[in-house]
A = this chain, B = another copy of it.
């Protein structure tokens, strides 16, 4: 502990490296605990719904989170 689970879209390995490094830094400083696990969960746009619509479908129209 602490364990951080990040639910987001796909990202490349360089971004994962940065994410884990920076999230861990924040957790260590706030909790004052040195052991931190981060789990990055990558969700395809057809598996995410925002306000009733699949991200997959939103993306076709506009450009969205």
Contacts and interface: CB of A to CB of B under 8 A. Distances in A.
Interface of A: 1-9, 11, 13, 15-28, 30-31, 33-43, 46-57, 65
Given A6-B27, A36-B49, A38-B48, 15 more contacts: A2-B7, A3-B6, A3-B7, A4-B7, A5-B5, A9-B33, A11-B31, A13-B56, A16-B49, A19-B26, A26-B26, A28-B52, A34-B65, A35-B51, A39-B43
The complex is assembled from copies of this chain, and their number is 6
B33 A65 contact: yes
B57 A17 contact: yes
Contact of A25 (B2, B21, B42, B52): B52
A57 B62 CA distance: 31
